[in-house]
A and B are shown apart, each in its own frame.
Chain A
């Protein structure tokens, strides 16, 4: 891996390479460049996952001509595909070095590098929703019970917007979550439940690539991934489209007024 990256940088196949480097025992995202080639020796594949593609969109927004290399797992690849069809980060400007998903036995759980999901406490199982639950299982709960469980989860929300901020495929200029006519701003916590979460879920339709970063970023361990997976399965049933997996435009690129797809200013 290191040799390839060095070669890419040397031969100017890429102008920079986004990967990870260890700093005091922590893997941090790092931008490797040709003028500091020997640093590539420190390149590692990290246990932690950052959205390197989101960083790449920030760079591309300022330097559209930049050729960006990056380390990519399956989830990064799916995100890149979505970013391409929504004109946020063009396919041709990115070169990826593919690494295996984490050595997790749970590959089936998320078909990406979601590491061992931490076991969930008994009270959460009883009142809330086990983050490891499958969509099928969740659908088997009776409706009333299901509602109560979700409301329990949502009412923990501290409105950090972390789920949105970390999302590699959230790039709208005006976010519905901040639309005063949809969701009231301010006041006390929790935010409006379940509105906040359902608005976000609806907007993830045709976009969410099931990387799990949102749930990872949620301070309250709300099972966001399960929620968006359900939305994803509806889209797949209705349109036969799975974001980041299927080729071509998303059905949501096509409906309504021509959507604005200019890169989001940072």
Chain B
């Protein structure tokens, strides 16, 4: 039996409220406010209070999918990454680096966004990178 409360940040709106995730035996069972957090001061909105529910949703994707014969089918990580790399390489070889683009996310971490733009610029060789935040 293991029970812990892990401090973190709500991933919905831009307020950035402090939460505690309630974890029992490696399973996420609840969200509660971090009482002494400087932004939220131990309060949350309805979305924050229910943050754990989208994480444990049954609709979460758990395996890569690859289009084979016109339909998306479960595939291995290796095959999915390889296919993606080859397809991008092929398009760039034929049409130049500005024929590909990347949409980053206001939902993933700073570290990940940093890598996304680094990947776009240094690996794909284009500045075609944007995010959907203006939307």
CB within 8 Å of B: which residues of A? 15-16, 23, 26-31, 48-50, 55, 58-59, 62-63, 66, 158-162, 165-166, 216-219, 266
Contact = CB atoms under 8 A, between A and B. Distances in A.
B4 interface: yes
A48 B44 contact: no
Contacts of B7: 23, 26, 28
B11 to A, nearest CB: 17
B3 A217 contact: no
B35 A49 contact: yes
B120 to A, nearest CB: 34
Contacts of B30: 58, 266
Contacts, number: 72
17 contacts: A15-B1, A16-B1, A26-B36, A28-B5, A28-B7, A29-B5, A29-B20, A31-B2, A31-B3, A48-B35, A58-B30, A62-B24, A159-B46, A162-B43, A162-B49, A166-B32, A216-B42
B59 to A, nearest CB: 21
A59 B46 contact: no
Given A16-B1, A26-B34, A28-B5, A158 B29 contact: no
Given A26-B34, A66-B1, A161-B49, A48 B22 contact: no
Given A58-B30, A161-B49, A165-B32, A48 B42 contact: yes
A160 B1 contact: no
Interface of B: 1-5, 7, 20, 22, 24-25, 29-30, 32-37, 42-46, 48-49
Contact of B43 (A48, A59, A63, A160): A160
A160 B45 contact: yes
B55 to A, nearest CB: 15
Contacts of B4: 30-31
Contacts of A26: 7, 34, 36-37
Nearest to A18: B3
Contacts of A158: 45-46
Given A162-B44, A266-B30, A59 B24 contact: yes
Given A23-B7, A28-B20, A160 B36 contact: no
B35 A63 contact: no
